[in-house]
A = this chain, B = another copy of it.
Amino acid sequence: MGRDQGDGLVAIAGRIGVVTSVALNLAVFAFYLRGAGDKEAGKKVKKAAAVAPSSGKPPVCADSIINLDHGDPTMFEAFWRGPMGERATVVIPGWQTMSYFSDVGNLCWFLEPGLEREVRRLHRLVGNAAAEGYHVLVGTGSMQLFQAALYALAPPGGAAAPISIVSPAPFYSSYPAVTDFLKSGLYRWAGDANAFEGDEYIELVCSPSNPDGGIREAVLKSKSGKAIHDLAYYWPQYTPITHMLAHDIMLFTVSKCTGHAGTRIGWALVKDREVAQKMNKYLELNTIGVSKDSQLRAAKILETVADGYERQPAGATGDASLLFHYAQRQMMQRWRALRAAVTASGIFSLPDEVAGFCTFAKDTVTANPENTI
Do the beta carbons of B141 and A54 come within 8 Å of each other? no
Copies in the complex: 2
Given A281-B6, A287-B287, decide whether A80 and B100 contact each other with a Cβ distance below 8 A: no
CA distance A301 to B98 in the complex (A): 12
CA distance A74 to B263 in the complex (A): 24
A345 in the interface, Cβ–Cβ < 8 Å? no
Do the beta carbons of B264 and A288 come within 8 Å of each other? yes
Contact with B along A185-213 (1 / 0, CB 8 A): 11000000000000000000000000000
Given A184-B183, A284-B6, decide whether A293 and B263 contact each other with a Cβ distance below 8 A: yes
Q: Return chain B residues, CB-CB under 8 Å to A147.
A: 286
Q: Return chain B residues, CB-CB under 8 Å to A184.
A: 182-185
Given A77-B95, A98-B77, decide whether A285 and B89 contact each other with a Cβ distance below 8 A: no
State which residues 1-47 of A face B: CB under 8 Å: 3, 5-6, 9-10, 12
A128 in the interface, Cβ–Cβ < 8 Å? no
Q: Return chain B residues, CB-CB under 8 Å to A97.
A: 54, 262-263
A364 in the interface, Cβ–Cβ < 8 Å? no
Given A91-B91, A140-B290, decide whether A99 and B56 contact each other with a Cβ distance below 8 A: yes
A315 in the interface, Cβ–Cβ < 8 Å? no
Q: Return chain B residues, CB-CB under 8 Å to A280.
A: 10
A100 to chain B, nearest CB (A): 5
State which residues 288-317 of A face B: CB under 8 Å: 288-294, 297, 301, 304
A178 in the interface, Cβ–Cβ < 8 Å? yes
Q: Return chain B residues, CB-CB under 8 Å to A144.
A: 286-287
A223 in the interface, Cβ–Cβ < 8 Å? no
A277 in the interface, Cβ–Cβ < 8 Å? yes
A-B contact pairs, 5 of them (CB 8 A): A6-B281, A97-B263, A141-B288, A287-B287, A294-B294
Q: A12-B285, A51-B105 are in contact. List 19 more A-B contacts (CB 8 A).
A: A10-B281, A57-B101, A72-B100, A76-B98, A77-B95, A77-B98, A80-B93, A81-B94, A89-B92, A143-B288, A147-B286, A174-B285, A182-B182, A184-B185, A262-B291, A287-B287, A293-B293, A293-B294, A294-B294
- The residues of A with any CB-CB pair to B shorter than 8 Å are 3, 5-6, 9-10, 12, 51, 54-58, 72-74, 76-77, 80-81, 84-105, 109, 113, 140-141, 143-144, 147, 151, 157, 174, 177-178, 181-186, 255, 259-265, 277, 280-282, 284-294, 297, 301, 304
